[in-house]
Structure 1
């Protein structure tokens, strides 16, 4: 069946949101799989290794559910039909579906987690701190991209890591460390799953289960709703509008500082030395040079940005490196009735796992959130880029909420993260350069947002 299945997967995978090799030419594909459940429907799990024409390769985790006959209700999850021999020796077809979209195929994940099973190369590790909702089907979260998540009832959320890399995923590593601190700003880890590496490297993290945050509101949606309220009021300032977000921003700053403090308490830290500052500046400069090929408009900011990065190389700040979130923005936080909860500590999924586990400055997370406030404020300017009144109000909202976030962080930690820090400015600029490349490739009409920010950052503005 393997050749028939790899042909089906070669056709299906490039159309999935979680597949990272879109547009790349495939040279080869292979898979190995095992059965996680033989009940109806049968559930198999496959490691699919894709080799590209340039010699690079990636391994993806693909769970499949199998049925003897097509199921019209699962048409959106259909992967393909694979020839098979029936018990009577007759030729027939088995129909395979994306098991994460087949509710009947979702209970075995938690059954095995409760039992701390080992099934083939897969090992299930419950955290042993809370009840796992065994026997409940999972509903897919439609907004997932690089991973796939299922919500089990109102109690747990299961995240399948689609791209496999040897080593413990930071989301699990940090989740386990913070669970021990009982930090109120995280969703406690309930367990995780590992899968052995066929070449003898460290096991890869296949999935994790954590407490589902009930009744929560997404930070990005709340922030952008506040911006819309401000735009709708022609003669009111940001602090006068009913949907003012500054108090939430201040509490988010305090929550961020709390998480950073606990990370520093339970995981490794070390002082940043001149070598780290120099390497950080070089990496930022290299990313800028590479971005120029994609975004020629960066040329006018080149001199200023190089100067921003050069100041990092000569930095005399006292910086303690520690574990950080690594991909921090308003879409990674939820507001509940009792405060903010921070999610997704895996870092930027496109970066190698080893890089995501390295110690860094907490200012990288601060810069990410400051960039997110800018995006929330200015995303509606895309519709009316030449409206000076909207531009003024966007700037007013961004400044107010950036300041509130920094004030909350400072009040909680005793550290002002948004002072005149060359490192913070460089992190912001580096993030905006990354945004320019992303927007040029995916949403060209949004490119104005990071470019406008770079005008300020490269010129030395706040």
Structure 2
């Protein structure tokens, strides 16, 4: 990819050093990163000490050792080494994408972004900071995406015929999330993946596949960037995706909370959201491979669910008393295969909840976003063919989250709101050609249970004050095994603040 004029000039300067090949680059940054990285929401290794980092690749998007007051921009892929058992036994630790600004003397407005000043190495005497809090450096990322090509360890792509204007103002999205996002003007949004696994991210893979179908429920990617090298399968690793910004849209989570705050009915929007979900599932099934899950596959799915339950019960002891009863849902799933029944499987969203939906400003159209799947699960698992009922069960859990997190806080009216809203969503899903969720009770209960177990682990690690929400579902599922999405009864522990989104 062609460099900008300032970049070319700096690289032709005799003072410019090959920063990315300097052997002391990463060692000089480790003391700073070991403190800063664990404080970030996207860091997955909470609770274990970082003992070091391994540098996987480094790219100077802007020179970091030139003279003057121009900031540098450094992109790193690193592997975190931590005490205790590695989260990824095959690779020895999680991989992360870091975007670091480098400045001799950053202006005061960047003080909250400062990571520190290396005591040695090629960046000695300079300030290193979070580049995504610098609008100027965020703007440079958009300029890089405008022109396809390779730069260092990175390769940039743009969809043919897509117009990406130059100079759009940049603003990072400050809400808590497992990745980082930047909005450009009112036109585009760039998602930067933070915890990286080798291969194509489903968020890029599925949105590109749907772009070639009549389904208009998912914003098509405009550009993306990836590693310039490929993994064992020949696939490059996705690092960021630029998509249209749906100006004026409101996310479903906030819309649901707003309805709960004024005790308003939400069955109409929920039914329309069910329609949208079914349309996306249908388009994915028509575009990408499908299969049938029979006895061996259903048994393996049930076994994986049992293993996740066992691992979560060890990590979150409050779940332990419910483990045996919860396991009966997975036994019932395995029994479906032994009875000779089978279920269709295909590519799905994989992490569907109200926070992954947007409703247009005129209230007339729902869109689905963020197709990367549950970030805590391995990439290979997120790309598996799965029953669509998994997405449906996850959305039903999200209605339960809203009812327990909103101003009503799980009172009888809020729980009835959840019942009616869930029923409307299922009705809309079936009307638009999706499987009637009530025709698959064993799958619905198993997938809701598995989702609640995932939520328990997520909340225990990231937001302990939210743990009461999935634990209420755990108690209900373990006690009576009612159909998926049935809300837990009143009397839970204090509810969390509704300002943060569902995981």
* 1:29 pairs with one of 37, 40, 53: 53
* 2:188 pairs with one of 156, 167, 187: 156
1:398 equivalent in structure 2: 418
Does the 8 A contact of 1:6 with 1:30 survive in 2?
no
Larger strand percent: 1
Q: TM-score, normalised by structure 2?
A: 0.82
2:21 equivalent in structure 1: none
The 3 A distance-change label for structure 1 pair 229 and 275 is same
- State the alpha-carbon separation in 1 of the partners of residues 276 and 305 from structure 2: 28
1:238 equivalent in structure 2: none
1:408 equivalent in structure 2: 428
2:344 equivalent in structure 1: 320
Paired residue secondary structure (2:181): strand
2:81 equivalent in structure 1: 51
Deviation at 1:221, TM superposition (A): 1.0
Within a 5 Å distance, the mapping from 1:255-266 to structure 2 comes to: 255-266=276-287
The 3 A distance-change label for structure 1 pair 342 and 42 is same
- The alignment's C-alpha RMSD in Å is 2.4
Paired residue secondary structure (2:367): strand
Which runs of 5 or more structure 1 residues have no equivalent in the other structure?
231-242, 384-389
1:335 aligns with 2:359: yes
The 3 A distance-change label for structure 1 pair 381 and 279 is farther
Does the 8 A contact of 1:133 with 1:155 survive in 2?
no
Please identify, of 56-65 and 128-137, the stretch whose mean Cα deviation from structure 2 is larger. Answer: 128-137
Deviation at 1:212, TM superposition (A): 0.4
- State the alpha-carbon separation in 1 of the partners of residues 173 and 406 from structure 2: 26
Q: TM-score, normalised by structure 1?
A: 0.88
Does the 8 A contact of 2:101 with 2:129 survive in 1?
yes
Paired residue secondary structure (1:418): helix
1:171 aligns with 2:210: no
1:26-58 CA distance string (max 9 Å, x none): 232233422112493222211222222345312
Paired residue secondary structure (2:411): helix
Paired residue secondary structure (1:341): strand
Please identify, of 202-211 and 401-410, the stretch whose mean Cα deviation from structure 2 is larger. Answer: 202-211
1:421 equivalent in structure 2: 441
- State the alpha-carbon separation in 2 of the partners of residues 18 and 272 from structure 1: 34
1:227 equivalent in structure 2: 260
* 1:183 pairs with one of 205, 215, 220: 215
The 3 A distance-change label for structure 1 pair 65 and 421 is same
- State the alpha-carbon separation in 1 of the partners of residues 407 and 325 from structure 2: 25
1:90-129 CA distance string (max 9 Å, x none): x971122211111111222222222102001100010124
1:279-329 CA distance string (max 9 Å, x none): 111111222223333455545544432222111102154411100111111
1:13 equivalent in structure 2: 37
1:379 aligns with 2:405: yes
1:75 equivalent in structure 2: 111
1:340-360 CA distance string (max 9 Å, x none): 111100001111111111111
The 3 A distance-change label for structure 1 pair 136 and 380 is closer
* 1:147 pairs with one of 179, 191, 197: 179
2:313 equivalent in structure 1: 292
1:2-25 CA distance string (max 9 Å, x none): 122233222321222222222212
- State the alpha-carbon separation in 2 of the partners of residues 313 and 300 from structure 1: 22
Within a 5 Å distance, the mapping from 1:335-354 to structure 2 comes to: 335-336=359-360, 337=362, 338-354=364-380
- State the alpha-carbon separation in 1 of the partners of residues 482 and 102 from structure 2: 58
Within a 5 Å distance, the mapping from 1:265-284 to structure 2 comes to: 265-284=286-305
- State the alpha-carbon separation in 2 of the partners of residues 216 and 430 from structure 1: 31
Does the 8 A contact of 2:249 with 2:358 survive in 1?
yes
Does the 8 A contact of 1:252 with 1:405 survive in 2?
yes
- State the alpha-carbon separation in 2 of the partners of residues 420 and 373 from structure 1: 19
Does the 8 A contact of 1:29 with 1:49 survive in 2?
yes
Paired residue secondary structure (1:43): strand
- State the alpha-carbon separation in 1 of the partners of residues 460 and 108 from structure 2: 39
1:247 equivalent in structure 2: 268
Within a 5 Å distance, the mapping from 1:102-117 to structure 2 comes to: 102-117=134-149
Paired residue secondary structure (2:432): helix
